Structure 1
Amino acid sequence: MSHPFDSLQQQCRTLRLAETAKELPTLLRKAEAKGWTYHEFTHELLSYELQCREQKAVERLMKWADFPEVKTLDGYVNIALL
């Protein structure tokens, strides 16, 4: 019989929450240490997955755009101040 934790990780993968499945041990430890409620834990879990998806989307779009050089807003601000 598999451990409930292993089952939970597999369920995350089945639901295509791959990043959450990888981070689940860390999130569970933080929840236990800080005494999170179920609501707080669920919020942190889903926020983490959304953040990872947004980051991957940005990376994918930047790759698709095929810019010769990546520039940030900070770089433009620094040039304007000179």
Structure 2
Amino acid sequence: MKIRKFVVTFFGVTQEVIGALAIVFAYVLYYNILDIRANLEIPLEHVSVYLLLLFVFGFISILSGFFLIRERLELEGEGGS
């Protein structure tokens, strides 16, 4: 049971971090920090599509990680250590 708690916690936190990084990258792309659009050769017309995809992916990833962490807390509440 300890291994399952560790794996659930690890993947939950990892998914939340990946989701947060996707949202941060969307902001970096939108505000063109470090001239990222030119480096990635992304035309201005396509930025809105990338923003939408990154925000959706980020929020879904954060929600999935949140539910995994919640599952871990429920496992802890069942009395297993």
> Do Structure 1 and Structure 2 share a fold, with TM-score over 0.5?
no
Larger radius of gyration: 1
Give me the TM-score of the superposition, normalised by structure 1.
0.43
Return the structure number with greater relative CO, CA threshold 8 A, min gap 6: 2
Greater share of helix: 2
